[in-house]
A and B are shown apart, each in its own frame.
Chain A
């Protein structure tokens, strides 16, 4: 009996012999399927029966680890090995060279309708002729991996283990992906979901990248949602040598570019649809593009027995101040460290921070329904819209009094903290960083809680930041005062009146960036280097470039002051500018291309003077004018204090990250972890690794699982509430509603930006549309005619900087990223809290690029 069969002939054999995966692939041979052959399940049975392995699906008789290690040393039988070599030799060669193959499982029962075994058995890429036989054995042995056994125990009903193995030509995939012919989450009924990434699909299924995600309506093939993922890595489509690194960085300019154009997307959808029609049920189709050809790699039924996700107990509302800085889920290490320094008033649920809604209800002394309270917690409505709940106020008063007696002095001090003194926090961070007895958790605790009860205010940037929120109440007071006593005063002037300070670090950051751009402009050679697509190589080029001295000096000065900043700063896994200054080069290039304006702080100051003059004219009553001006001064101070203390709070996060990276470096050198793995473990797990000999395969499996979970979570917006009856107002087509963070009306072309580090270029006059913003986005605001942000509030960074710049800013505009496309024209009426879709003038701009 032959133990190998050509893949194209596998459809004629019983599924019990070749496994469902091979049989399905063979039956889909009319599509472009890479050639290959199958080592049948009979070979598996014969091989292991000969060596006394009990093949029953019974955990008690499964081979243990030493037995598995012994079995790995046993080669294939001579006859089977000869068959394999013959079948391999029959495969087409690549430019006269022996082909490279993929060796993958096709177990009986795998890819079934109820249990997919996805990710349970091994696949080996880049397998050369000499290694095929060993890889077949390895693939077989993955039947008894702990993961496969656990999965089988959960889903399988006994029987005998049988595994065929597919040996298939390796496709040098430039683009790979997965198509679900039904949305597996059930969110989008009658839709086809496509996910794609650069290079091999292993990066996608291992969670190394957040893929591009497209939702296509089945009926008319319209793309109803497209999210361009952050594809920082790819698994190389081709390997030049045996020890080459398979995980490669994706060039920065491609990280946020859509992997698929509309035609390719359509072809991928049609391929998946054809598979579904032929196989008679919803399919999960893996595919790849190589040299312009679309290959079908696998099709399996969408598993219908997925375990339901648990709904946490209690009622929760998302913590808006974190959400408005970035909407991604935090990595496990970030969650684990942060949860240890936060009091139990909230909970991290799936990587997002939520507040205990019932606790909010207990302490907020207002008469409000659940829905109203949610709106308040999400900073969507004003407090003065509700009546005071006196019994609750009295109940809260005790706690407020206690807090005031215990911590009120800091509240008092933060009224007049000299802003320059905040920089003293740097030496504190440096001291903590140098203290080797402090681990990352202790570091976070030390830096956030402060060194002692009588330390200077600069040592408590986090607390001072919180206390600066009082400017929101002062703003309410200023509005009320002007409405009452100066009805002719245009309230749109309040924003510039309360802005225009030269002390705000975020505006200084832009001014310093502008100075760097000026240095670059004066040096043609540097300008030339900045046009490169490979900006990540620029630091090395600058270091040896004779004309680079002045620019390098200004860059070093900039990094010394702002190097701890970057995108998604609360996320410890996110790199800072001091580690990778490439995003700065993108911003400088943008400035060079779009031209310079005056210093931002000068512009803001000038607008403030105009608003001051308008106040003088509108308010004749001198005491009222003095009160209004005092309020404006206070608001300006607190807004600046809030931005500046945030700058230093982020220094604490950066210090913790540095500590974590030091530990990661040790574990990478010890061969336990790979780069970036650490952030997918909890702190206790890291300590346990340090304390004992880790089981590397189990560790990698755990990390991979968490990467996948993290990547999946990042593809979706978090629910605003959990177990609370709250339904946000439904949107009208073409009309987007949000909150006004900076007033004004402007028309312009949409520019979607997902990440300022990778696609941070914007033309003057475009309207910046972003999922969230933090200081790393600030330079993009310079050229923007207006800013529209999917999350955020009046207090958020976007609003603060837009007010400094005097441009309209609309925040908390739900769904705007998915609904708008580059090139469309919109009108932003921030004053009314709305944006209107006008027309699409450039249909080619279907994604951020």
Chain B
């Protein structure tokens, strides 16, 4: 039970610790900001030490597990977001009420080498207003 509680506390603490460590990298080119970031690391480190003291020296596995979980979640979250945004099902859709047709992802024959300007739509107007032909709509 103690290990479980320690793990539950260690997870958000790991988030804070990871954030504080990365904040030092963020400020790497600003000496003052970098020094301040290092100072701010003290608090999560202290909390981390207290937690370790409370759980006992043998409890390092639980704490390391929490850190591993947070780092893994961080990496997975980033890559899954990139992956998801390439999946049509995870993209926002667009609707034109004039056409009453949903422009869902991947419905227009992308990359098939076919002219596919607007499948299923009427092109009910024409006109030219610049230099080439002297034509416009009526």
A340 contacts B124, C-beta separation under 8 Å: no
- Our pick among B23, B130, B135 for the contact of A412 (Cβ within 8 Å) is B23
Q: Closest CB-CB distance, A574 to chain B, in whole Å? A: 19
- Complex interface: chain A residues within 8 A of B42 (CB): none
Residues of chain B with a CB closer than 8 A to A335's CB: 94
Complexed CA–CA distance, A127 and B112 (Å): 41
Contact A452 B78 (CB under 8 A): yes
Closest partner residue, chain A, to B128 (CB atom): A700
How many chain A residues sit at the interface, stated as a range, is: 35 or more
Neighbouring B residues of A682 by C-beta, 8 Å: 103, 108
Binds B, one of A24-32, A113-121, A184-192, A385-393: A113-121
Q: How far is the CB of B38 from chain A (nearest CB, A)?
A: 11
Chain A residues with CB below 8 A from B100, complex form: 309-310
Q: Is the CB of B95 within 8 A of A206?
A: no
Specify which chain A residues have a CB less than 8 angstroms from the CB of B112 in the assembled complex: 688, 691
- Indicate with 1 or 0, residue by residue over B121-137, a CB within 8 angstroms of chain A CB atoms: 11111111111001111
B residues in contact with A104, CB < 8 Å: 138
Q: Is A545 an interface residue when CB atoms closer than 8 A count as contact? A: no
Tell me whether B108 and A704 are in contact (CB under 8 A): no
Contact A208 B129 (CB under 8 A): yes
Cβ 8 A contact of A688, one of B108, B125, B130, B137: B108
B26 with A702: CB separation less than 8 A = no
- Chain B 76-113 against A: per-residue CB contact (8 Å), 1 yes, 0 no? 11110110111001111111111010010100111111
**CB-based A-B contact count at 8 angstroms:** 271
Whether B97 lies near A310 (C-beta < 8 A) is: yes
The interface residues of chain A lying within 8 Å CB-to-CB of B97 are: 309-312, 349-350
Interface presence of A409 (CB below 8 A): yes
Stretch in contact with the other chain, from B13-21, B47-55, B57-65: B13-21
Q: A205-B136, A206-B127, A458-B26 are in contact. Are A694 and B115 (CB under 8 A)?
A: yes
> Can you name the residue of chain B whose Cβ is closest to the Cβ of A298?
B138
Residues of A within 8 A of B93 (CB): 339, 344, 347-348
* Inter-subunit contact B74/A409 (CB<8 Å): yes
Decide if the interface of chain A is mainly helix, strand, loop or mixed.
Answer: mixed
Task: Give the CA-CA distance A206 to B138 in the complex, in Å.
Answer: 10
User: Do B18 and A409 touch across chains, with their CB atoms under 8 A apart?
Assistant: yes
Q: Nearest residue in B to A412 (C-beta to C-beta)?
A: B19
On chain B, the residues within 8 Å of A344 by CB distance are 89-93
| In the complex with contacts A457-B26, A701-B125, A118-B138 CB distance below 8 A | yes
Within 8 A of B (CB), among A331-360: 335-336, 338-350, 353
B residues in contact with A698, CB < 8 Å: 117, 123
Interface stretch among A145-153, A499-507, A647-655, A815-823? A145-153
- Chain B residues 14-38 with CB under 8 Å of chain A are 15-16, 18-20, 22-23, 25-30, 33, 36-37
A708 contacts across to B, CB distance below 8 A = 125
Contact in complex: B30, A420 (CB < 8 Å): yes
Q: Is residue A280 within 8 Å, beta carbon to beta carbon, of the partner chain? A: no
| Bound: A412/B110 CA distance, A | 40
Whether B73 lies near A406 (C-beta < 8 A) is: yes
Q: Which of A412, A415, A693, A694 has the most CB of B within 10 A?
A: A412
In-complex Cβ contact of A205 among B86, B118, B137 (8 A): B137
A405 to B125, Cβ gap below 8 A?
no
Residue of B nearest to A125 (CB): B134
- Can you name 10 extra interface pairs (CB under 8 A) apart from A350-B95, A421-B30, A700-B126? A122-B138, A142-B126, A150-B123, A151-B122, A343-B92, A348-B92, A409-B74, A413-B26, A699-B117, A702-B117
Chain A residues with a Cβ under 8 A of chain B? 104-105, 117-127, 138, 142, 145-147, 150-151, 154, 200, 202-203, 205-206, 208, 233, 235, 243-247, 309-312, 335-336, 338-350, 353, 402, 404-413, 415-418, 420-421, 445, 449-450, 452-454, 456-458, 674, 681-682, 684-685, 687-689, 691-695, 697-702, 704-705, 708-709
Top-4 shortest CB links A-B: A412-B19, A406-B77, A310-B100, A119-B125
